[in-house]
Structure 1
Amino acid sequence: MTTDLLDRLRASLATTYDFERELGGGGMSRVFVAGDTRLGRKIVVKVLNPELAEGISAQRFEREIQIAARLQHPNIVPVLSAGESEGLPFYTMPFVRGESLRAQLASGRMDTRTALRLLADVARALAYAHDEGVVHRDIKPENVLIADGIAVVTDFGIAKAIDAARLDRGGSTITQLGTALGTPAYMAPEQAAGDTDIDQRADLYAWGVLAYECLTHAHPFADKKTARALITAHLVAQPTPIGERVDVGAAVADIVMRCLAKDPHARPRSARALLAALDAPGEAVAAAPQLNVPSIAILPFVNLSADAENEYFSDGITEEILNVLAQDRGLRVAARSSSFAFKGQKVDLQAIAERLHVGTLLEGSVRRAGNRVRVSAQLVNADDGYQLWSDHYDRELTDIFAIQDEIANAIAVTLRKALHERTGIAADKDVRRVTTRSRPPANIEAYESYLKGRFQLHRRADGMHEARAHFERALALEPDFAEAHAGLANSYLWLGTHAALPPAEAFARLRRHAEQALSLDPYLPDAHYLLGYVALWYDWDAAACERHVRRALALQANNADALMLAAYLHFTKGRRDDALAMTEAALNASQSFRARAPRHGPLSRGKAGGGAPIGRRADRTSREGSRPADHGRHRAAGARQLRRRL
């Protein structure tokens, strides 16, 4: 059956999708991994099961699924397209590299902090979708995927689209199609009773079951083994209060049990109540623990090109390799600002390693001539100067992305092998490994403009105008270049905080490009940090800031900017100990924070945001000729002064 359907799909959709294999499926659909031949990206094609497809109109299903396709949120896997193949309706979604929440629950490795973070991600997806008028109807661990520590919800609106596309509207979905549009283990009582008027409160019930299971490692009705027994339990049985099984704090325990209320009217009014409970004191953003993992600093590669202006290119290659390695949870990578502090200095490698608290260093060179590039790199053990690995790459310029990935992966493998030989500790199979960029830019000129923009961006205020121009050129050449959108957003941050643009204009553009970056690639930590910055310093929205800080740190635990923003956030909420911990983490992540020590910053007047205004009230100040506080001073002075104040 699998081969027959796969062959049929390959035959009928060959011009659009390159089918690889069947991934699996649930009660409603069969799931296949395929390549999108037009855009060069990996997707999943979900085909409705034949017995289900017989009872619905494919045209009506495609029309109804357009509602779900409008959902664009970092915690929701979007619907890309829908269609019909040989009478079978299908829809497509991005392929998410990760595992399902069900797989993580089965592994037994989910602790309370991880569970709360993932549950908050699901709650955010529900809050957004409900605001857009879309109810999921089938929230369960199989429909929650985890990638880079972030939970994303899949199949939003599909159950409703199937129900609305039924050819026979006279009977219930369950009796007519023989398929419950929902899963018995997670059905709200009103769903189990066959009520056709299902609203967002059914999703809140399912979230409550999900939360109970994640936090206690057991379903609230774990002793019920059949679908009938589960449905009966949802209708009449009362689960053991979660507070009697695990200590999760009063606010979390209360919200979970309220979600499990039999009466929909007794449940929380919206998913935002879930977020408020999870944001209660004691559930603060925390720095990642320092594990026994290999550590490395990527030193700036030397520009050996005849043209000194190619400095942007050698710096860019260094930063790109660093960013790929920083995605690997099995490594601790010194921040760019720390490594680049030694650029052009004649400092002993062992001294650099001691300053940056790392065990290994990567150094190299880049020589560019026309469309050819030669990259040499060597990995050195800081203790004895022994060369652990070296290689050189002589390629066409268009191969630069492959070179970066090959170097990063070679280093990761070498470091893990060295760790095992030195300590006997095997690499943790559960941590995220090095990955390549999700979608390399197709236009090499756009990539060069992007690198020039990054080069100017690191000059801070001195390069903000040039950075903006380079990022705009990159996007003119390749509009869907996610990193260039994030870079342009960053340039608007500098333009806004230096009054080169009115704050309202600068931050509106920042928000637009950061959101566009995340819609193209939801795994960009800088884009999440930038949205968090706007939320705290411009919108004065601490809850939104915390959401983005969590995502940024889940993607890149050593992101110094996000760590410092988290410290400010804790300070505004009165969490002194948490603020101090995040400040120390930011100082450890970036030596540049230690080096810069201006005499004033946003906390210098005894309260968060006490320096010159950046938020909405700054618009008037800007018009009157006063300049908002320097973003660089905020970050540099903040770490020093916040630590003293605490």
Structure 2
Amino acid sequence: MMDLNDLTAKELARLDAICLDYEQALRSGDAPSIESLVAAHAGNSGELLRKELIAVRDEISTEPTERPHSAFSFTTHAIPVSNATPEAVGRKIGPYLITCVLGQGGMGIVYQAVDTRLDRKVAIKMLAISNSTRDREKRESLRERFEREARAVAALSHPNIVELFDVGVADSNPFAVMELLEGETLDLYLAKTSCDANTVRRMGAQIADALAVAHRSGVVHRDLKPQNIMVMQRSSDRKGGATNGSAPHGISVKLFDFGLSRSEGSLFDAAPGDRTREGVVMGTPGYMAPEQARGETAGPAADIFALGCVLFEAFYGKRAFDGSTASARFASTLESVPDTDPVRRRVDVELADLISECLQKEIGKRPASADDIATRLRRRGTELDPIHQQIESGYGAGVFARRRFFELVTGGALGGILAELTVQYHNETLRDIGSLAVLSFTDTNGRATRLASMSAGQPIGDQTTDRGDEIAVLLVNELSRLKDVSVTPFRPFVASTRDEFIAIGNELDVDALVTGNFNTVKRGEKSFDEINLQIISSRTGNQLWGQTFLSPTGESLLEQSRFASELAAAVGRSLTSSDSGPSPTNQGSFSCLMDGAGRADPDSPAGLRKALLCFQSAHRQDKHYAAPLAGIALASITLAAQSSTEESIELIQTARESVSEALALDRNLPNARLADAMLLWQTLYRYEDAAKILQKLIADEPNYWQAHHQLGLLELTRNNQADALLRLREATQLNPFSVIAKVGLAEAHWFFGNTERAVTDTIRVRDGQPENRHARGLLIDIYEHRHEYELAAAEHVDVDFGPKVTVDSYFAKRQTLDLDEYPYGPFGTVLNQAILNSRLTGRIDDAELGKLADSTPPMLPLLLSGHPSFASAKRLPRATEILPLA
């Protein structure tokens, strides 16, 4: 007897389309009879079609009648509990307590739930296995394949991909536990919002970045569509809101349902090792690639086609392949060319051409990779002229756009109007800036500073700085006082071309870059420093604002801090004092303070030591200035966590004395408040007091990355998973070049049991910063814990472990190495040695824990709470004196 496997791909696609139309008709309450469909459409496949239609009918008849518009729609607007199925709400799936239904569809249901262990909200997608699947072995195979693919998705790490926390099986049905996203799906967003070209590019680049990471990991989405893309807004946009249905500036997107959305073809029915079985049609009509519609293998190129469909819909305001039925959309995908709007196309020709390339029927004519698409979306050749800006802003209200166009071209003073529009455009763009970074300044010949040439992206450390770096550090320090603009901590970079500005802006994930140059000029008998300041769009690489200042040669940094006020005014803000204490009056003290501020990077112990000397010099020159004391306190407690026992004890004492003096002079100084909180939880174990200080500090200084980082470590110590990951992730976003922040986030994933995620993230950090010991140290720590000694040995640069690595040979060599050179992490000498000792002896006893506690190493609470090597010590009575109360 003929079965589905005997059909050609084309015939299978035809029958699948008929079944989809029938399902849609059933849901709308206007379904034809099965026999009439078989008579009209079956051809030579009558019995197979009848069987499939009956299966669809039976499955639909068993579903609850209440459902949202799409199969699996994640949304924060949950269906009220009264509308959820009574047997679901209040039920527990493992540790997850279901609270309401987020979405339902033919393949299953999505719940909102609470993880009762961690008291956090999650989303649970339950994939229901059809009742027709009665074979026990096949059911077990389905479960294993779901779990295997879910693990692959869990290894994906990208800010634009939903996080997968857990997988399991309940009542023989696999489920996946994911982060609960706050926002709305892209289909809902597009239904009420007209996206300008810049927004389409920004969203598209984020989607392409996510796909690139997935494809490199061997994961193909296969069902990319607006319903599987969540749109979220930055906090500043949520407060202000967009007007007139236009897209806000700071939206971000997240992809979900990676590899899970069409389970019958991908996860369940594919042969072992196959991503998608040839002959199985999967995906969504109107977004699936032609090869998918024909039932052929769906690879990365299929995702690229689907991305083109999404971009087309966002840019043109209509679907690329539409039709009233699934059959019509199938046919459109296979046979039609999307109908573009020539007026809209002229708004951004490069974007329109890229979308058309993505929608090519032949795989070889599409862009080579998602990486290539992301690069092209971020690289725009020319800024829109004012006329097209007006057309762009009026798109979706075409009458206004065209009327304004004719007003412009027929006006008698065209030049003046164009000039006025250009100024208005730049001002609006500048006011939209929510994040920026400051690059090293060059001389007028474009020569970069030594650090920017030799150590781009690295901490200053204890190296000598040039004038171009000093100006940049000054501006970062002053602009960081802006409350609603995130300023990336300084690392030396320079750029001179449009592509270089775009590349650095993308790497730092900021809206704009501050840069400039300086030169010495003569005005009569006097010498002046001519300083050119510029604000550059990180999206286009074009200059948005510029101004030249003359500063008497030898003028102090304190006097030149006025430049920051000019920059703040350019972006529509004003600098307000961040402290209530005395302002600096001594120019030498302020210059030393700036030198220390540029070096006080937790990634560099050498820089912290040099910064401490700078802060101490600044304090000696001005005893009544609180900022140097706060710098001493923060540098001391930060450095103490990475030092030997004797040095750590001395540094902690210095931090305590300095923070007390600083707060007496200015109780609102951010660095002093942060140092105070760090001392409280790291050395005095006063967790609640420290948490209150950090929470208030973040409320006052929302862009202070170290405050987020410290609160994240504190919540990690208190075993508050959701809060810990949230704060640590925020720290990495505010300071994207901080290795210690990224390693801290990866370490949190490890402590909470997601080891594969930790390894994946840490390898990426190590590859980006190969000279930094912290990323390699965490990998060594994890590999040793997992008894993967060859991998651990490979992370020891320039160390020969011999031809064959065994547990004995590995630790014999490891014990001879300097733990300051090859540490497990930024924990200080005594704690790194304790980890190694526990690996050798298998435990940490009460005597050793007491010895450790006597010297109060700052990272002891964190390691005792979560590090696997301290698991035995955590159960000791002495541990209760250190750890937070359960």
TM-score (structure 2 length as normaliser): 0.36
Query: Based on CA coordinates, which of the two structures has the bigger radius of gyration?
Result: 2
TM-score (structure 1 length as normaliser): 0.49
